[in-house]
Amino acid sequence: MEFTFKIGEKIKEAWVLYKEHFSTLLIITLATFAIQFVGQKDNPVLGFLVLVVSFFLSYVWIRLIFSILDKKEHNLFSKEALPTLVQFWNFIKTSILLALCVLAGFILFVIPGFYVLGRLVFSSYISVEKNQGGRASIKEAWGMTKGFGWKLFWKSFLIGLFMLLGIIAFFVGSIITYPVGFMIMIMMYREFVKFKSQIPASPAPFEVVKDLPKETSIETIVKEEVK
């Protein structure tokens, strides 16, 4: 089966959702940009705090978009919108392990790094949705994307270019392209999960007969079948 995901159509769908949740998306987008701006200052302690807050905002982003796609109410300032310590720690472990895997791919050669990124692009979403740790999320992402690494990389690359489009043209435009692009990425994750669930499992090529009595031979089995 072929995985089809038309980015142009998803931009239209995401734009409708963006307008419906404009105020919430604007708040978290501005908060994200503010943290990135503060992180540019040369201060190790501040840099570490910015990194932790960036992880936190990334988690909140994913949870928010899941809620939007599922048509659930989501208040950024409610207790339910915030991760527990276990959830947050699982997300951090997944994000760090993802970065290390991609970095290892780039250290070997540049091309494997892109391939690994395509295979593991959904790991953070899996961690948030299923509250899984790093190893489980990375393993699941790697398994589910087998045979689709390059396709997912190129689609993610195009979505990333769209998200940067607002910064390249006019910085104000990124207030639109950043959240819309984020929604499209998670739309692709949901579409891919649905796509994989429709692929029938491959039947076993043969069935192994176990625990036969010692006196049982192949000839005996054939004779019994003929009878």
Segment 22-55, tens digit of pLDDT: 999 999 999 998 988 887 777 788 888 999 999 9
Q: Is residue 220 part of a domain?
A: no
| Range 56-60 average pLDDT | 95
How confident is the model over 142-167, as a mean pLDDT? 92
| Domain-embedded: residue 227 | no
Q: How confident is the model at residue 164 (pLDDT cuts 50, 70, 90)?
A: confident
In a domain, 163, yes or no: yes
- Tens of pLDDT, residues 137-146: 999 999 999 9
In a domain, 223, yes or no: no
Instruction: Tell me, yes or no, whether 147 lies in a domain.
Output: yes
pLDDT score at 210? 46
User: What range defines the domain where residue 128 resides?
Assistant: 7-201
In a domain, 43, yes or no: yes
Q: What pLDDT does residue 169 have?
A: 65
User: CA 205: distance to chain centroid?
Assistant: 33
Burial group, residue 59, by CB count within 10 angstroms (0-12, 13-18, 19+): buried
Residue 48 to residue 76: CA distance in whole angstroms: 24
The structural domain count of the chain equals: 1
What mean pLDDT do residues 189-207 have?
76
| Residue 32 placed within a domain | yes
Q: What is the pLDDT of residues 81-138, one digit of tens each?
A: 789 999 999 999 999 999 999 999 888 787 888 999 999 999 999 999 999 999 999 9
pLDDT band at 202 (very low <50, low <70, confident <90, very high): low
Evaluate whether residue 197 is within a structural domain: yes
Q: What percent of the chain has pLDDT over 70?
A: 87
pTM summary value:
0.83
**C-alpha distance from residue 132 to each of 18, 87, 121, 125, 173 (Å):** 28, 8, 15, 10, 34
Give residue 226's pLDDT.
39
- pLDDT exceeds 90 at position 195: yes
Its sign, for the CA torsion 93, 49, 51, 190, is positive
Distance CA 6, CA 150 (A): 16
Beta-strand ranges (E) seen in 86-209 are: none
